A and B are shown apart, each in its own frame.
Chain A
């Protein structure tokens, strides 16, 4: 029975799941970064990533190679993220969190509208980052693109980790998230740390978008809406305050959904999302703070 099982297919589907999950992980990390510093889920994170992807498309359209556009877009998105925080979030820095959440909702519409205004709604394509040829690893065929996506996602996560653990700025970012008032007493310009966080988040979102778009073939302004959903789900699964959780949660979710799609028939594409959400809800009921989240023990 075990020998008849198609291990090849399992391996292939798992890699695909990791590839997709990796793009979700990047957006999830962006969400966690902003959640830890600003205290809300940025509902516009996906749209900002979509906007970045359109910028990348425009750059490629003007003659740049994919990778040139890739890095330039990251830089532009970084600056853009900082700008968004300074203009839109800073005025409500001291307001209740729900107010800030509504601002991000407004930002969602604003960025979505801007993208439709600047670039019309027709579909476009972004060239693939990696070739779409299959590659043979230990006798099993994998797509280079999937492996490449995984590599980029992992690379970004590692870079971020290095930033936070070993640099002064990273330390200041962490301190500002943990205790903003105390950080100010230490001389840290917490307000600018917030802006920096938004810049980093925007950059990560841009990478997520630029990896997602080629994989889909063609894309339009709706590109990142589903990704946002899964990124939120992955981040919640892993525990909202935890960057590791966001990554692990999203990867797990990616693999899980891909495998479910392959092996379970009665869950058609329509029910995939609700099913995934139901599973996450179940996990939350058992571990209310997610897999890696910290719970203040409350048994009231």
Chain B
């Protein structure tokens, strides 16, 4: 009986969430939909990073670089090969996933901090690498969709029509990004609940114990990297589609840091708070600038906010919500 109640509550919460998502654009300005769409990009990357770091315990500071791979794949396909922008998304995801897989291979020998530093190196090196292959990537100037392939941009005219519904380009980007985001979240949730999720957590909690139980460490680590790479690639691709431009500065090391911050603030090892993490990373810079425009103050506020949030919620929003809900969940799941 209690279990049924628990499930019902859960379904209700999910339904409410979906309803909210569908209806939100009506209540915000068109420009704001664009901001929300960008938050969605962070969300997808954060979910991917959480699978890798929160659930499998592998630290990566290089997710910005994987996003770059996805973004540039999209940009190259659009501007050089004249693909429609939205159709490049899966390809971008797979490409980044493949690179993620390759990154996972050294991870077999490196652990913890060394892995963090190696991935950090990748993120730092990425802008330089992108500039070097300027024939393909457009060098420092990057690739501008409007210049090279305007017809491939969905909604360039200002409106998009899907299934007979007409909407602005910004609304379209919002729905596109967050639909993919919610699907990605669902897939992540299924993975986490399933056998693979358990194996991930086993690796996170103790590699030696996992191996003794027959886990193929190589397979799992590379799988985890590849999976989170796919998410990052899709996020990068969506970012490129939203901004209609890519250049080395779109994907600096700062981006990797932001995603990590978003994942930790959202709550590693739990999927619940990640939306908050994404919004935190998206809106905090704006809020900081709002408080004061004087040089240095926005950064100061930004840093202070991050510190305060971490002090108050050391396990992130997800951890905090879990603790809040504990009386309820204990009651729901214990036998009377």
Residues of A within 8 A of B (CB): 35, 41, 88, 91-92, 95-96, 98-99, 102-103, 105-118, 120-121, 229, 232-233, 236, 240, 270-271, 273-274, 277-278, 280-281, 284-285, 288-290, 298, 300
A113 touching B298, Cβ below 8 Å? yes
Residue in chain A with minimal CB distance to B116 = A41
Q: Which 6 A-B pairs have the closest CB atoms?
A: A116-B296, A113-B299, A110-B303, A109-B303, A113-B300, A106-B306
B310 touching A99, Cβ below 8 Å? yes
Which residues of chain B are within 8 angstroms of A41 by Cβ–Cβ distance? 113, 116-117
Within 8 A of A (CB), among B287-333: 294-307, 310-311, 314-316
Shortest C-beta distance, B161 to chain A (Å), equals 43
A229 touching B208, Cβ below 8 Å? no
B125 touching A111, Cβ below 8 Å? no
B124 touching A229, Cβ below 8 Å? yes
Contact of A95 among B207, B261, B302, B314 (CB under 8 A): B314
B111 touching A288, Cβ below 8 Å? yes
B311 touching A103, Cβ below 8 Å? yes
Residue of B128, B131, B294, B298 with most chain A CB atoms under a 10 A cut-off: B128
Contact of B300 among A110, A288, A300 (CB under 8 A): A110
A96 touching B307, Cβ below 8 Å? no
A236 touching B114, Cβ below 8 Å? yes
Say whether, besides A113-B299, A116-B299, A105 and B261 are in contact (CB < 8 Å). yes
CB-CB contacts of B97-118 with A at 8 A, as 1s and 0s? 0000000001001110110111
How many angstroms between the C-alpha atoms of A236 and B132 in the bound complex? 26
A113 touching B301, Cβ below 8 Å? yes
Which residues of chain B are within 8 angstroms of A289 by Cβ–Cβ distance? 114
A111 touching B124, Cβ below 8 Å? no
Shortest C-beta distance, A227 to chain B (Å), equals 14
A92 touching B314, Cβ below 8 Å? yes
What's the interface size class on B, roughly?
35 or more
B124 touching A277, Cβ below 8 Å? yes
Say whether, besides A236-B117, A288-B110, A111 and B310 are in contact (CB < 8 Å). no
Tell me if B's interface is mostly helix, strand, loop or mixed: helix
CB-CB contacts of B232-261 with A at 8 A, as 1s and 0s? 000000000000000000000000010011
Tell me if A's interface is mostly helix, strand, loop or mixed: helix
Which residues of chain A are within 8 angstroms of B111 by Cβ–Cβ distance? 288, 298
Say whether, besides A281-B118, A298-B208, A110 and B310 are in contact (CB < 8 Å). no
Shortest C-beta distance, B212 to chain A (Å), equals 8
Residue in chain A with minimal CB distance to B106 = A285
Residue in chain A with minimal CB distance to B261 = A102
Contact of A91 among B131, B303, B311 (CB under 8 A): B311
How many angstroms between the C-alpha atoms of A114 and B303 in the bound complex? 10
Contact of A281 among B106, B113, B310 (CB under 8 A): B106
Which residues of chain B are within 8 angstroms of A35 by Cβ–Cβ distance? 113
Say whether, besides A105-B306, A232-B117, A96 and B300 are in contact (CB < 8 Å). no
Which residues of chain A are within 8 angstroms of B128 by Cβ–Cβ distance? 270-271, 273-274
Which residues of chain A are within 8 angstroms of B278 by Cβ–Cβ distance? none
How many angstroms between the C-alpha atoms of A233 and B114 in the bound complex? 10
How many angstroms between the C-alpha atoms of A273 and B310 in the bound complex? 32
How many angstroms between the C-alpha atoms of A50 and B127 in the bound complex? 25
Say whether, besides A95-B314, A99-B264, A284-B110, A105 and B257 are in contact (CB < 8 Å). yes
Which residues of chain A are within 8 angstroms of B114 by Cβ–Cβ distance? 236, 240, 284, 288-290
Which residues of chain A are within 8 angstroms of B304 by Cβ–Cβ distance? 106, 110
Can you give 5 contacting A-B residue pairs, CB < 8 Å? A102-B265, A110-B307, A114-B296, A270-B132, A277-B122
